[in-house]
């Protein structure tokens, strides 16, 4: 069953702009992860945020987590054409099987030069 739901499904921006993607989930979690998928390739891990963390940064990426609202957001600042990809959130459910992540359907980001 789907746990995370990303919003929007698709996002088109100009190079240099910021991109914000949101993820909502249904149950308590141990951690939430974001992945990127370039067309025709496998997913690549971007960032992991634990349930007791509220914000995390990695380069141009900023992830927030609000466990009371069961939501997370991924912000990409100063976007580049190379950021064009699909972005997925994945949750590690509290009480679930170890390492068994449940993925959302993804946000397709298009960054125009």
Partner 1 sequence: DAEITQSPRHKITETGRQVTLACHQTWNHNNMFWYRQDLGHGLRLIHYSYGVQDTNKGEVSDGYSVSRSNTEDLPLTLESAASSQTSVYFCASSGIDEKLFFGSGTQLSVL
- Contact letters for partner 1, residues 46-85 (x by CB under 8 A): --x-------------------------------------
The verdict on 106 binding partner 1 (CB under 8 A) reads yes
The verdict on 95 binding partner 1 (CB under 8 A) reads no
Q: Which of residues 10-49 bind partner 1 (CB under 8 A)?
A: 31, 33, 35, 40-45, 48
∠73-4-53 over CA atoms, to 5°? 45
Phi, psi (degrees; rounded to nearest 5) at 3: -105, -55
How many other C-beta atoms lie within 10 A of the C-beta of residue 105?
Answer: 13
Q: How many residues bind partner 1 (CB under 8 A)?
A: 25
Q: What one-character DSSP code corresponds to residue 13?
A: E
Q: From the CB of 79, what's the least distance to partner 1, in Å?
A: 23
Give CA separation, 80 vs 16, 18, 32, 70, 109, in Å.
Answer: 6, 10, 25, 29, 11
In the complex, which residues of this chain contact partner 1 (CB under 8 A)?
A: 1-2, 31, 33, 35, 40-45, 48, 88, 90, 92, 97-106
């Amino acid at each position: 069953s789907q746990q995370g739901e990303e919003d929007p499904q698709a996002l088109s921006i100009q190079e240099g702009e910021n991109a914000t993607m949101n993820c909502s989930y249904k149950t308590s979690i141990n951690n939430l992860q974001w992945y990127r998928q370039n067309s025709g390739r496998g997913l690549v891990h971007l960032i992991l945020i634990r349930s007791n963390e509220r914000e995390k940064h990695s380069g141009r990426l900023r992830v927030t987590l609000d466990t009371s609202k069961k939501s997370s957001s991924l912000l990409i600042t100063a976007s580049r054409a190379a950021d064009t990809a699909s972005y997925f959130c994945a949750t590690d459910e509290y009480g679930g099987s170890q390492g068994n992540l449940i993925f959302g359907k993804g946000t397709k980001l298009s960054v125009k030069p």
